[in-house]
């Protein structure tokens, strides 16, 4: 069965600092991996996805993620945090375009 | 291009009542998914349709829950005899047959059962 573990339910960074949100997955076959962002009382917006093309995936709003098979990781990074990045971030895994299995989420706080 | 829409955005009901939510996917998206999200958790899969066929249902979808997509366009999710444990955000998503792995989410319906 597929599963996703997000390390750290809350992450706090200063504006302009590096953002690193951690995600580890388990999957018996090569997975599709995703990062979504959710603002309060809203649905989920796709940030980026990995589908076995390039291991470094660039997404919207300056975010990127690197797929590391040896570490079963798909961590999300952004070089410089902005106040507008404050939100909840979800890592998810799927196979063959079916259901998404989400992690528990990481709330990102950006301090001024 | 309009996104996925859901109606209502908020629903407050009393325990034991029936509720129905509607989801309109992005035009030409043939797959439609329902998820449930409780406070502090990630969304959990409930069910999905390809066109009008319901292809998979989660064990979370008890017999009080029923979902339909009669004409392969919009979908409804009905909860009968609501319980306080049904209080959650119900999210709908859709995907296109040429890119089925990318799901686009609607704003969700927040259900509160009193």
pLDDT at A94 over 90: no
Confidence of residue B60 (pLDDT cuts 50, 70, 90): confident
Window from A30-39, A83-92, A101-110, B96-105 with minimum mean pLDDT: B96-105
**Which chain B residues have a beta carbon less than 8 Å from that of A41?**
108, 110
Helix (H) or strand (E) holding B30: none
Residue B74 has pLDDT above 80, yes or no: yes
Is the model's pLDDT at B42 over the cut of 70? yes
**Portion 39-68 of A in contact with B at CB < 8 A:** 41-46, 49, 51
How many Cβ atoms are within 10 Å of A9's Cβ, its own excluded? 12
Rounded to an integer, what is the distance from CA B34 to the centroid of its chain?
3
Sequential DSSP letters for A42-81: S-EEEEEEE-SS-SEEE-GGG-EEEEEGGGTEEEEEESS-
Other Cβ atoms closer than 10 A to A103: 24
Average per-residue pLDDT for chain A: 92
- Residue A40 pLDDT: 85
pLDDT band at B110 (very low <50, low <70, confident <90, very high): very high
The band of B6, judged by pLDDT with boundaries at 50, 70 and 90, is very high
Strands B10-13 and A32-38 turn out to be unpaired
Contact flag B43-A44 (C-beta cutoff 8 Å): yes
Whether the per-residue pLDDT at B93 is higher than 80: the answer is: yes
CA distance B109 to chain A (A): 9
Please tell me the total number of residues recorded for chain B in this structure. 114
Does the pLDDT value for residue A34 go beyond 60?
yes
pLDDT confidence of residue A14: 97
Of B42 and B99, the structure prediction assigns the larger pLDDT to B42
pLDDT by residue (tens digit) across A1-12? 788 999 999 999
Contact of A21 with A89, CB cutoff 8 Å: yes
- Bigger pLDDT: A60 vs B97: A60
């Amino acid at each position: 069965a597929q599963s996703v573990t997000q390390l750290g339910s809350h992450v706090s960074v200063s504006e302009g600092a590096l953002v690193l949100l951690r995600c580890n997955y388990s999957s018996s076959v090569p997975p599709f991996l995703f990062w979504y962002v959710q603002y309060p009382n809203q649905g989920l917006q796709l940030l980026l996805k990995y589908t076995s093309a390039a291991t470094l995936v660039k997404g919207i709003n300056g975010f990127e993620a690197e797929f590391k098979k040896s570490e079963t990781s798909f961590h999300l990074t952004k070089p410089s945090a902005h106040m507008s990045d404050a939100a909840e971030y979800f890592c998810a895994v799927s196979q063959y375009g079916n259901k998404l299995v989400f992690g528990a989420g990481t709330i990102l706080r950006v301090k001024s | 291009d309009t996104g996925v829409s859901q109606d209502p955005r908020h629903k407050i009901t009393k325990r034991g009542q029936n509720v129905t939510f509607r989801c309109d996917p992005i035009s030409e998206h043939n797959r439609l998914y329902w998820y449930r999200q409780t406070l502090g958790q990630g969304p959990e899969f409930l069910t999905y349709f390809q066109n009008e066929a319901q292809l998979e249902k989660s064990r979370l979808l008890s017999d009080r829950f029923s979902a339909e997509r009669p004409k392969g366009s919009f979908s409804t999710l009905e909860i009968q005899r609501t319980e306080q444990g049904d209080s959650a955000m119900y999210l709908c998503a859709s995907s296109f047959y040429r890119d089925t792995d990318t799901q686009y989410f609607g704003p969700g319906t927040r259900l509160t059962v009193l």
